């Protein structure tokens, strides 16, 4: 792996975007700069030999050096919310009420700065159907904008959903939330980071 020059060298590695601490993920992308050209399949093999058992490199590709950074290229993320104790009909009704609101205001706390009130409704891009999952859970997928004031944090969506009238009928307890994928949204099209 290549390292930066100077007094405190660091690995030339760049993740596409951060996710909340403790949140599981099934689709992360990372750029790594190597000192020499390597075969993508060989890199994948070596990574999977040293990764812990719950982390897997699914695909490696050589990318052009003039490609924009992943962080600047992606603008949307898909999450899966699974509720251990829930009613699909009640949860679907709460989601429908939330999506019917013209504005969904949230207070965003910022360290060392005044709080801001933001409307996250434009950043809730797409919500899938509420479906039962194995073990009696209910869940749904949702696509949210990434980055800046337009970005929606999964916790903000959950708090807004909890604020819907009669939302307590739809579920109890905190959901397991995991990130499924990140991508670039262009109109109604989803563009994989591999294609940017």
Q: Coil, strand, or helix at residue 168?
A: helix
* pLDDT band with cut points at 50, 70 and 90 for residue 170: low
Point out which residues pair with 3 in neighbouring strands: 11
DSSP state of 11: B
- Structurally, what CATH architecture does the domain formed by 74-195 represent? 2-Layer Sandwich (3.30)
The DSSP code sequence of 67-92 is: SPPHHHH--EEEEEEEESEE-HHHHH
DSSP state of 165: T
Chain Cα centroid distance, residue 132: 22
Identify the H or E element spanning 132.
Answer: strand 131-132
| 60-85 burial: b if 16+ Cβ within 10 Å, else e | beeeeeeeeebeebbbbbbbbbbbbe
Q: Where are the domains of the chain?
A: 74-195
Please give the share of the chain, as a percent, with pLDDT higher than 90. Answer: 29
List, for residues 56-77, the tens digit of each pLDDT value: 898 898 887 777 777 778 889 9
Characterise 16 by phi-psi region: left (phi > 0), alpha (psi -120 to 50), beta (else). Answer: alpha
Q: Measure the CA–CA gap between 13 and 111, rounded to whole angstroms.
A: 27
Average pLDDT estimate for 101-110: 90
List, for residues 1-49, the tens digit of each pLDDT value: 888 888 998 888 888 787 777 788 888 888 888 888 889 999 999 999 9
Question: Are the C-beta atoms of 16 and 74 separated by less than 8 Å?
Answer: yes
CA angle 23, 25, 27 (to 5 degrees): 155
Q: Which residue has the tokens 């970005």?
A: 151
For the whole model, what pTM was predicted?
Answer: 0.84
Picking from 76, 70, 78, the residue whose alpha carbon sits closest to that of residue 29 is 70
For residue 22, what are its two tokens?
């403790």
């Amino acid at each position: 792996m290549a390292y930066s020059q100077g007094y405190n060298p660091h690995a030339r590695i760049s993740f596409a975007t951060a996710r909340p601490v403790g949140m599981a993920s099934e689709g992360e992308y990372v750029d790594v700069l190597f000192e020499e050209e390597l075969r993508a399949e060989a890199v994948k093999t070596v990574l999977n030999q040293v990764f812990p058992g719950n982390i897997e490199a699914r695909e490696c590709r050589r990318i052009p050096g003039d490609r924009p950074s992943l962080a600047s290229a992606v603008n949307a993320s898909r999450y899966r919310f699974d509720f251990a104790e829930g009613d699909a009909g009640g949860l679907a009704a709460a989601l429908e009420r939330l999506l019917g609101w013209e504005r969904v205001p949230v207070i965003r706390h910022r360290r060392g700065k005044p709080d801001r009130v933001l409307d996250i409704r434009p950043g809730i891009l797409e919500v899938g159907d509420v479906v039962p999952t194995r073990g009696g859970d209910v869940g749904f997928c949702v696509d949210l904008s990434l980055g800046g004031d337009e970005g929606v944090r999964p916790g903000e969506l959950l708090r807004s959903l909890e604020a819907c009238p009669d939302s307590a009928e739809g579920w109890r307890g905190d959901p397991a939330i995991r990130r499924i994928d990140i991508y670039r949204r262009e109109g109604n099209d989803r563009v994989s980071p591999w294609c940017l």
